[in-house]
Structure 1
Amino acid sequence: MTNNIIAILAGTFLVSAGLPAAAFADTVSGGQGNGESARGVLDEMPDLSSRSIVDLKPPRIKTDEASRDFSMPTEEELQKAFSTRSRSGDGATTPPSEELKEIIRGLVNGDGADAGDSREPAADPILDEASRQVIGEDDRVQITETKKYPFNVIGQIWSQTKAGDWGICTGTLIGKRAVLTAAHCLYNHDAGGWLAKYEFFPGLNGQNDAPYGRYSFVDAYILEGYITNYQGVYGSVVPWDLGILILDKPAGEEIGWLGYATYDPPYPFTANIIGYPGDKPQSTMWQASCDVDPGTASQNNFSYLCDTYPGSSGSAVYHYDGKTQERYIVGVNIAETEKENIALRLNGPYFNWVRSIAQE
């Protein structure tokens, strides 16, 4: 989806929580690891070039699908949609926490209003220091120093289908074991639900250079709304395309992780998207940056003009705070229309859901 920018879901149901203008209302800070190889990653590097790859990208969203809302007028329906579906335990479902229920109750009642924000966009200086390569008119640049923070906490997710093929996405460590990504990288409606297997390669730098090895998984989580609200087309579940993969070993203890924050209310910022686009040499890391106009934000999503491509699905969209010199994920790259790319926005309820899983 190079040069396709994301359209937002206009007219969505959620109402903002009315957060302070000058600071993130809710944040989880990131942390740098020691940069050494993570403990317990002793298996041999698989031959990635020999794997049969299928496309895990979601279908391109039509303009009318981009304006789809939740269509859930009651508190009970939203609570069900914000329940957590776990891959383990035969798809066990966990209801939202009391804190999340309270947020949902406020949304239904229309509590709060956007307070606005005066923050100015800031470029992440690490991107100027990194070894990068620009090719042609494409404004994406290759990251080759993938062992440098924050690039080392970003990795490629390989998801195996039940037929034995593989699909590729991008994920980001947001805790010791938790990897933030898109739900469609973990669950496929047309292929029978949960994919059979997941592998995570942090800092992967081409097919034969995995500086931190390969991690398997112990569980995966998505929102119940991504499953039960499916109406035969991807556009029906765009508002719920959020997932978390739980690794079998605590990679973040050695590598580190990125922080995340509520992007609520919206403010102007420079979006940084780092991932593994499928139109580039296999398993190479690429970065794109572009300014985000808060006026493009719906209550669930925001759009931008950054160059992306399938394989970058699940990439974190992070903001660099020039004052604090901290990085915070505020969205997840999930989809495209004919003109735009779209990120799921970490508003109040999404942030709460992510934190409840990632902190475990």
Structure 2
Amino acid sequence: MKKSVFLTIFLFTFLFVPISALADETLGGFQFDAKESSHPLDRVNSKGEVTKYEDYSNKNLTFINETKSFQGSGELNPIFVGDLLNKGFLETTQPLVKDVTTNEVAPFVVIGPDGRTRVENTTVFPYSAITYISLEWADGSRGSCTGTLIGIDRVLTNGHCVVNPTTQRGIVSATVYPGVSGSTALFGSYNAIDYYVTSHWINTGAISQDYAVLVLSPSNGRHAGERAGYAGIRQVTNILNQSIGIYGYPGDLIRRDGAINQYGMHGNVASEDSQVAYYTIDTAPGQSGSAMLNTSNQVIGVHSSGFSDRNGNPVRNGGPKMSSFMFEFVANALN
């Protein structure tokens, strides 16, 4: 289908959930000065501090195209997180999800019959490494995204889950819960103490740059990835027609269940360009940041956005794939 058919692009931000238990730490006041950045892949942290691309880039990464997965110890540290849903779902005061023709938040992104199924056992890898992320912004608005553990203390998610490029403001708090099922975080909770996005995301809000890496503190002497495991990342070029799985925490089904559960679906990449992959796999707000998992359960991209036709009907979803540019940024953020 030609690009001209797709009138509207949605950035799926958050499953809008009031949060009663957030991290004690704050991520710092985000103050970004674009003059400090000179390269699209300059790394910007939670305080808005810029690390130059030439300073962090490891040219040896050009000879590496993947990192290893780890299935984790499986040590459980269950905590109940149903209190996140006590007051229902609130609409954020910072909506990034808009139909540009109506200025309305996209109601859903299920394409045709809903193909998503619930993950019954989230103690099994890779589902154990799929994380529910609760978020708070400086103005007090709250929400959630999905992320994937890609290291013992690193989570890959969307850029729009941590920095709003329109306002250039960042979150002040985030808590990560791996392998949630039945509103129980089976591997505990972990506070985000930092995050990284590209300067190009902040400056442009481009879908190709809609990725971020969270840095987590340990909990009870263990890192999240030690318990729940983590997925390796793999650099890709052409992934047309390849099978991928997208799993996360969709708000529509959580509202239906009255509990936080993990859902997902497999499908093929329907089209792509050099940096973004497109598919008709069903998603919903709350699944922002869900990994594109290949058949080896490696992360080859991250779900970000939905596209509608002239009548506002959802027709495809998409997100940045693990191009050489994304791989270099994310791999360096693991160090």
1:151-230 equivalences under 5 Å are 151-190=127-166, 193-207=169-183, 209-229=184-204
Candidates 272, 286, 291, aligned match of 2:245: 272
After TM superposition, the score normalised by the length of structure 1 is 0.64
Residue number in structure 1 paired with 2:68: 29
Offset of 1:267 from its aligned partner?
4.5
Q: Equivalent residue for 2:261? A: 284
Deviation at 1:243, TM superposition (A): 0.4
CA distance in 1, matches of 2:319, 2:236: 11
Summarize the alignment of residues 12-161 of structure 1 with structure 2, pairs less than 5 Å apart: 26-37=65-76, 45=81, 47-50=83-86, 53-55=90-92, 58-60=96-98, 137-161=113-137
2:307 equivalent among 325, 334, 337 = 337
TM-score w.r.t. length of structure 2: 0.69
What do residues 20-48 of structure 1 show as CA deviations (whole Å, max 9, x unaligned)? xxxx971112111121126xx9x875721
TM-fit CA distance, 1:240: 1.4
Contact kept, 8 Å, 1:223 with 1:240, in 2: the verdict is yes
* SS in structure 1 at match of 2:226: helix
Aligned partners of 2:82, 2:138: CA distance in 1, in Å?
A: 19
Cα 1:201–1:240 change in 2 (3 A) is: same
Greater RCO, 1 or 2 (C-alpha within 8 Å, sep 6+): 1
Alpha-carbon separation, structure 2, partners of 1:167 and 1:191: 17
Q: List alignment gaps of at least 5 residues for structure 2.
A: 1-5, 11-62, 102-111, 309-314
Alpha-carbon displacement from aligned partner over 1:125-178 (angstroms, at most 9, x marks no partner): xxxxxxxxxxx9421001121111111110111111223232111000000100
Query: Counterpart amino acid of 2:70?
Result: G
Give, in whole Å, the separation in 1 of the partners of 2:9 and 2:265: 18
Equivalent-residue separation in structure 2 for 1:190 and 1:54 (angstroms): 18
Query: Alpha carbon RMSD of aligned pairs, Å?
Result: 2.8
CA contact (8 A) 1:45 1:214 kept: no
Contact 2:239 2:269 in 1 (8 A): no
- TM-superposed CA distance for 1:261, in Å, is 0.5
Q: Please list the CA deviations of residues 303-322 of structure 1 after superposition, one character each: whole Å capped at 9, or x if unmatched.
A: 001011111110001101xx
CA distance in 2, matches of 1:7, 1:162: 26
Partner of 1:308: 283
The CA distance in 2 between the partners of 1:277 and 1:216, in whole Å, is 21
Distance in 2 separating the partners of 1:313 and 1:57: 13
User: SS state of the match for residue 337, structure 1?
Assistant: strand
In structure 2, what is the Cα distance between the partners aligned to 1:332 and 1:216?
Answer: 21
Instruction: State the alpha-carbon separation in 1 of the partners of residues 149 and 299 from structure 2.
Output: 11
Distance 1:191 1:46 in 2: 31
* Closer/same/farther in 2, CA of residues 46 and 62 from structure 1, 3 Å limit: closer
Q: In the alignment, what sits opposite 1:240?
A: 209
Could you say which residue in structure 1 is the equivalent of 2:274? Answer: 299
In structure 2, relative to structure 1, the CA distance for the partners of 1:243 and 1:61 (3 Å cut) is farther
**Is the 8 Å Cα contact of residues 222 and 242 (structure 1) preserved in structure 2?**
yes
Note if contact 2:240-2:272 (Cα within 8 Å) is conserved in structure 1. Answer: no
Change in CA separation of 1:7 and 1:167 when aligned onto 2, cut-off 3 Å: closer
Q: Structure 1 residues 61 and 268, CA, compared in 2 at 3 Å: closer, same or farther?
A: farther
How much has 1:354 moved relative to structure 2? 0.3
**Which one-letter code corresponds to 1:185 in the other structure?**
C
